[in-house]
């Protein structure tokens, strides 16, 4: 189990950032909807660290990624970020050391780091280029720290590194989860391929694993059930066939779209033109029954239906409202899950929230991240 050492925590080392140029890695993978900022939780998670560094550092050079977004550039978001953080921020689309150092403002926001191909390729040379921008590195991006990407994998190896206030909070939360003897993992979303190793690991730990969304569709397809035209991943079917575990719990009824009409179907009623888009009431009752045992600690990541369409949000919404009653024994994580809870004003109802989806699951399954502490 990773327990962050005191000499690696920012709160114990703020004096070491005094008059230094601090490279701050955050996760501001945010979006705009109807002219308003969404995913504010990730901005809020980094706020305390930014405020703390502002009191000591010479400059704060913020680095983040932006993915799956029609804008690609942070330039569009800067006014919203400034307003939310109540800070004057200067945008910079260069990693040139001289250009960055000649900017007079206290806080500098570097353009989307994913626009440099070397980031996702885990390029050491890109990390060395970023390193030249500052004296100290602060990691406040727990949600991407399980990835071998240049800014989170190499920078901690190249320069003095401390872990932000929220990063510490996340590790402490997940260490508390790991101490529990029994777990229920609730997974939704579209793709099962990236989560399959985690599912197998949790099943090995004798956890209950509840699946919804596209994940459940693919499992049913592998088990030779009819799922119509529902979303699946064909290339993973053979691997899923090897899983035969009574602790894997799947939905048993659905709301489907067929010929532009919505129908309720039991599993054995799915027709060729049906597209599964939400779970039904019997599935909710089944899941709630499995979750009643107070000895289980619940980990939830991913919506159970096509929540982008309000018509198919009910399964996820009812699950969320039920989990509020299990607040003490529940941790929620992942961008899509957080965005859904924010859209329904439910975020404040949950006590334990992780900014990470994949990182949270990776840590709980394998008890390690991609860097050494």
* CATH label of the domain that carries residue 124: 3.40.50.1260
By the 8 A CB rule, do 249 and 288 touch?
no
The answer on pLDDT for 141 being more than 80 is yes
Number of domains into which the chain is organized: 2
Tell me the helices (H) and strands (E) count for the chain, helix number first.
14, 17
Question: Which helix (H) or strand (E) segment is 105 a member of?
Answer: none
Residue 294 has pLDDT above 90, yes or no: no
Together in a domain, 98 and 237: no
Lowest mean pLDDT segment, chosen from 29-38, 165-174, 314-323, 335-344: 29-38
Amino acid 373: pLDDT: 60
Is residue 339 in some structural domain?
Answer: yes
CA distance 226 to 192: 18
The predicted pLDDT at position 221 comes to 96
Residue 114 and residue 192 in one domain: no
- Residue 251 corresponds to which tokens in the numbers above? 């939905």
Does 191 lie in the same domain as 157?
Answer: no
Domain for residue 172, yes or no?
A: no
Shortest CA distance to 333 belongs to which of 6, 42, 61, 70?
42
Q: Give the residue, 294 or 344, on which the prediction is more confident.
A: 344
Q: Are residues 152 and 209 in the same domain?
A: no
**Residue 51: inside a domain, yes or no?**
yes
What does the pLDDT read at residue 130?
Answer: 98
Residues 127 and 225 in one domain: no
Judged against a pLDDT cut of 80, whether residue 72 lies above it is answered with: yes
Report d(CA 258, CA 273) in Å as an integer.
6
Give the residue-averaged pLDDT of 272-297.
94
Distances in Å between the Cα of 215 and the Cα atoms of 24, 53, 240, 263 are: 35, 41, 11, 21
Please give the Cα distance from 252 to 249 (Å, whole number).
9
DSSP 3-state assignment of 65? coil
**Based on the domain organization, do 96 and 204 belong to the same domain?**
no
The pLDDT value given to residue 244:
87
Examine residue 173 and state whether it is found in any structural domain, yes or no.
no
Asked which of 138, 167, 196 is the last residue of a domain, the reply is 167
Kindly state whether residue 337 falls inside one of the protein's structural domains.
yes
Average pLDDT estimate for 200-205: 92
Domain of residue 135: give its range.
6-167
Q: Residue 271 has which token pair?
A: 């027709």
- What percentage of the chain reaches a pLDDT higher than 70? 98
Residue 213 has pLDDT above 80, yes or no: yes
Instruction: Report yes or no on 33 lying in a domain.
Output: yes
Regarding whether 184 and 330 lie in a shared domain, the answer is yes
Give the pLDDT band (50/70/90) at residue 215: very high
Range 29-34, long-range pairs (CB < 8 A, 24+ positions): 29/64, 29/65, 29/66, 29/67, 29/69, 29/143, 29/335, 30/66, 30/77, 30/80, 30/81, 31/69, 31/339, 32/71, 32/76, 32/77, 32/80
Query: Is the domain of 30 the same as that of 76?
Result: yes
Q: What is the pLDDT of residue 40?
A: 87
Q: How confident is the model at residue 68, as a pLDDT?
A: 64
Q: Which of 167, 193, 218 is the last residue of a domain?
A: 167
Claim to verify: residue 131 and residue 249 sit in the same structural domain:
no
Same domain, 140 and 26: yes
pLDDT at 70: 66
CA–CA dist 207, 214 (Å, integer): 21
Residue 182 to residue 4: CA distance in whole angstroms: 24
pLDDT at position 354: 94
For residue 346, tell me if it sits in a domain. yes
Tell me the β-bridge partners of 38. Answer: 31
What pLDDT does 236 receive? 93
CA distance 218 to 58: 52
| Per-residue pLDDT at 372 | 58
245 and 113 within one domain: no
Does residue 157 share a domain with residue 51?
yes
Residue 62 lies in a domain: yes
The whole-number pLDDT of residue 1 equals 65
Q: Is the pLDDT of residue 226 over 90?
A: yes
């Amino acid at each position: 189990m990773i327990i962050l050492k005191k000499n690696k925590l920012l709160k114990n080392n703020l004096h070491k950032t005094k008059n230094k140029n601090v490279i701050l890695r955050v996760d501001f993978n945010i979006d705009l909807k109807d002219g308003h900022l969404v995913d504010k939780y990730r901005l809020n998670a980094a706020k305390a660290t930014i405020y703390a560094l502002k009191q000591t550092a010479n400059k704060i050079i913020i680095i983040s990624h932006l993915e799956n977004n029609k804008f690609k550039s942070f330039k569009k978001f800067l006014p919203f970020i400034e307003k939310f953080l109540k800070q004057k921020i200067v945008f910079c689309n260069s990693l040139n050391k001289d250009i960055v150092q000649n900017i007079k403002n206290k806080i500098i926001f570097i353009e989307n780091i994913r626009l440099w191909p070397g980031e996702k390729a885990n390029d050491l040379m890109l990390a060395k280029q970023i390193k030249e921008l500052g004296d100290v590195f602060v990691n406040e991006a727990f949600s991407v720290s399980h990835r071998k990407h240049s800014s989170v994998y190499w920078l901690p190896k190249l320069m003095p590194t401390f872990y932000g206030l929220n990063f510490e909070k996340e590790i402490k939360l997940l260490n508390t989860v790991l101490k529990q003897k029994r777990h229920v993992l609730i997974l939704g979303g579209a793709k099962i391929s990236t989560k399959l190793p985690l599912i197998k690991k949790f099943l090995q730990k004798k956890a209950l694993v509840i699946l919804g969304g596209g994940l459940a569709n693919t499992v049913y397809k592998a088990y030779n059930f009819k799922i119509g035209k529902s979303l699946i991943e064909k290339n993973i079917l053979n691997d899923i066939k090897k899983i035969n575990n009574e602790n894997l719990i799947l939905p048993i009824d659905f709301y489907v779209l067929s010929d532009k009409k919505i129908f309720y179907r039991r599993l054995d009623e799915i027709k060729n033109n049906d597209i599964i888009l939400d779970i039904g009431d019997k599935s909710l009752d089944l899941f709630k029954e499995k979750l009643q045992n107070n000895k289980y600690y619940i980990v939830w990541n991913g919506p159970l239906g096509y929540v982008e369409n309000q018509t198919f949000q009910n399964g996820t919404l009812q699950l969320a409202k039920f989990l509020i009653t299990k607040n003490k024994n529940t941790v929620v994580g992942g961008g899509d899950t957080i965005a859904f809870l924010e859209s329904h004003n439910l975020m404040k109802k949950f006590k334990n929230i992780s900014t990470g989806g994949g990182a949270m699951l990776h840590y709980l399954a394998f008890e390690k991240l991609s860097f050494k502490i």
